[in-house]
A and B are shown apart, each in its own frame.
Chain A
């Protein structure tokens, strides 16, 4: 808001005659008159304050602590061509009482190009019938579990896994593209030599579908990944390991290769609950605050590899003293993702249907206005609870 409209707003609130007259004349007023008005305004406001003190000691007014942010998060579109698009980011404020998020957080289900014998049992249970075909796997995630997106991890391309060729990777991508109409994240095997080659082949196979290529980082040929994204119209996941400065550097490099903030999603690394989640809390909070304060190298939406949670022993290890893993596992994934979401993360790579559901339920409130939801009467909870 500029000064003049601020004044105008103040004027509306006052009920003093002389001020009202000023207001009527306002349209004709020249800008240079503003200081004079401001002085009068100040007087009026001061007078009002005095009135208030005398008459309203019992009933104080509450003003929500809303802040102004000079910066905003870029909006990234994923999915185009034959996909239903999904939008990430676009926040102009930190919390919804300041300004609701334009887009709710998004969940993308993990799907693999190989049957993944190592997945935890609570997950295998849901997908064991489709694990031989990434297309079927993706279809089930979307149809039965309401996935907004699907991440196809090309683990099988790893030289020590199955060493699948770029051609085979492209075929897997085509299979998944045929099976579902949601946007895709395409992940490599984690091999720094092979990933750029694989991602390039996948990008070509999915030309125009606007996938998220995961990922570019400083340990591999990020230029090749960026070029594939620019050439075939995709977005890039920019991955740094819990280090805001490393993230800035990488983003700058990617932008030099022709990507814009609307083509980049950041992965500041998700350390799981109990395994350094506090490092991620700090880094993600600082990254989002920097974006809103105007740091143009960090104004991109963020992603969380929430499935890291399943690596925590409390999620998978059998131990009678801790109760069944069937419950511990999903909670570990929810709490990990939720914590990241509350620090500002926009897109979550997840595995378990229940975790996805609960995270999405809370995330969907981020786009609503404060006090716009019907809430139940909880004033008798002390006696109502069973």
Chain B
């Protein structure tokens, strides 16, 4: 169902004027089909063709931005049901809830925890994306007051209340920051719709386990001119999780395969509901992460959490990183010679492969912990044991790498430390390169210890 460059080209002016920065209209069409440029860069388009192309190019799932300025998160934008068909866009936004009836200290403490949550993996800092303010007090004034306090954080907001009066009170304070309104249902439709229009905010539909009702509300909102909609079909965390999965999948299938206008919106899930039934901190955290992973695998674009334990968030952040890597891009870094810390002619020389996961894992293990050279072998982006099995990691390639990088001019040592998993080729590398080979630990986390042991011995 994907749009081809040819489909797009047919509607372009075909003058090849190059104003868009591309050498030809065809090149521009190709870039558009891959989402690598923007339609409005073409200066020659008639407005009719522009409108038609704009509709054609609109992703199956509408892309929505929550927040303004440097406090934003963008969700949606997906085109396919399965990531291998293209890629998924805009990683699932991970949101933490905060209640408006916390004491002042508790409130601040929680905001601090949310801001401070981060985890580094494969050269990327993984973080949370937004805060969901919950009108737990039921009091509009308290809700508004808490919203005001959140103005100072670096996060965009989700405002959670079914009471239009409370929602208005909060929007009066933070409406200019374009929070996501949560949520409209059958009974508050007119009032919430009016607020979304007045404040130009995206609006969530809450219709638990009832997609027919959801469709009707969506249609009603769209007929009022509301374009930015988010869908919450209800998160059931126990035996009902099967229904939630069905609802999520059906919504996305309708959007992608049937282009059903009422469902072409991002989906919101609430793993936080786990805590309605599970009060134990450990069990609750494990279960919440499990529900989050389930929904993220099946199309959740926003997830609201209650737990903030790092051990529960790390697996979810890691899953997100995996699912949203672009399968079209090689997972590789540049091969060559890298330096870590203060290196001199007596520094050790390590070797690894240029698979991004391998390289960044090793980098994370030695950066700031060891002074060393690191030779990175081009294995076409493959891990140590994979490239050993596939032949890209071989003695000749390693010998060439030593020559080409000129490492022999930089260090006096002629000892190469290779990964434990590369032990089977250690002898061959010695023969081919003339260097002595030392087999290092199997896991690179042990490298700093290994190097300091070496130093002590010598």
Contacts and interface: CB of A to CB of B under 8 A. Distances in A.
A256 B210 CA distance: 49
B293 interface: yes
Contact of A327 (B253, B282, B321): B282
Interface stretch (A83-91, A131-139, A362-370): A362-370
A385 interface: yes
Given A278-B323, A327-B285, A378 B236 contact: yes
A313 interface: yes
Interface stretch (B47-55, B270-278, B402-410): B270-278
A58 B216 contact: yes
A382 B240 contact: no
B239 interface: yes
A385 B272 contact: yes
B115 interface: no
Nearest to B283: A354
B250 interface: yes
Contacts of A328: 311, 314-315
Nearest to A354: B286
Nearest to A332: B315
A9 B357 CA distance: 55
Interface string B96-139: 01010000000000000000000101000000000000111010
Interface string B217-239: 00110000000000000111011
B293 A383 contact: no
**Chain B's interface: helix, strand, loop or mixed, by majority?**
helix
Interface string A309-351: 0000110010001111001101110110011001100000000
A97 B246 contact: yes
A358 B290 contact: yes
Interface string B253-297: 110011000100000001011011001001001110110011001
A97 B298 CA distance: 14
Contacts of B293: 334-335, 338-339
Contacts of A324: 311
Contacts of B282: 327
A273 B254 contact: no
Contacts of B208: 375, 378-379
Interface string A272-286: 011111100110011
Contacts of A361: 238-239
B82 interface: yes
Interface string B309-327: 1111011101101110101
B311 A382 contact: no
Interface string A41-67: 000000000000000001111101100
Contact of A334 (B245, B254, B290, B327): B290
Contact of A378 (B235, B242, B279): B235
B212 A62 contact: yes
Interface string A286-321: 100100000000000000000000000110010001
A355 B300 CA distance: 22
A12 interface: no
B83 A278 contact: yes
A378 to B, nearest CB: 6
B367 to A, nearest CB: 15
A15 interface: no
B254 A362 contact: no
A95 interface: yes
A375 B241 CA distance: 9
Nearest to A219: B389
A382 B136 contact: yes
A330 B319 CA distance: 15
A376 interface: yes
B372 interface: no
B82 A273 contact: no
Contacts of B219: 60
A95 B249 contact: yes
B212 A375 contact: no
A381 interface: yes
A383 B242 CA distance: 25
A227 to B, nearest CB: 27
Contacts of B417: none
B16 interface: no
Interface in B177-228: 185, 206, 208-209, 211-212, 215-216, 219-220
A384 interface: yes
Contacts, number: 188
A373 B290 contact: no
Contact of B312 (A276, A327, A358): A327
Given A65-B254, A285-B82, A278 B325 contact: yes
Given A59-B216, A378-B234, A277 B319 contact: yes
Contacts of A317: 445
Contacts of A335: 289-290, 293, 315-316, 319
Contact of B357 (A275, A327, A385): A275
Contacts of A281: 83, 297, 322-323
A313 B445 contact: yes
Contacts of A354: 286
A144 interface: no
Contact of B275 (A62, A322, A368, A385): A385
Nearest to B182: A382
B443 interface: yes
A338 B240 contact: no
B89 interface: no
A370 B243 contact: yes
A375 B236 contact: yes
A126 interface: no
B168 interface: no
Contacts of B242: 96, 362, 365-366, 368, 370, 373
B136 A62 contact: no
A289 B85 CA distance: 13
A162 interface: no
A371 interface: yes
Given A96-B242, A373-B239, A378-B235, 14 more contacts: A62-B215, A95-B245, A273-B315, A277-B319, A278-B323, A323-B312, A370-B242, A373-B243, A375-B239, A378-B234, A378-B236, A382-B162, A383-B135, A386-B275
11 contacts: A62-B212, A65-B257, A278-B323, A321-B310, A323-B310, A330-B286, A338-B297, A358-B290, A376-B240, A385-B272, A386-B279
The 7 tightest CB contacts between A and B, nearest first, are A365-B242, A323-B311, A62-B212, A375-B240, A282-B84, A97-B246, A274-B318
Interface of B: 82-84, 97, 99, 119, 121, 134-136, 138, 160-162, 185, 206, 208-209, 211-212, 215-216, 219-220, 234-236, 238-243, 245-246, 249-250, 253-254, 257-258, 262, 270, 272-273, 275-276, 279, 282, 285-287, 289-290, 293-294, 297-298, 306, 309-312, 314-316, 318-319, 321-323, 325, 327, 357, 361, 443, 445
Interface of A: 58-62, 64-65, 95-97, 273-278, 281-282, 285-286, 289, 313-314, 317, 321-324, 327-328, 330-332, 334-335, 338-339, 342-343, 354, 358, 361-362, 365-366, 368, 370-371, 373-376, 378-379, 381-386
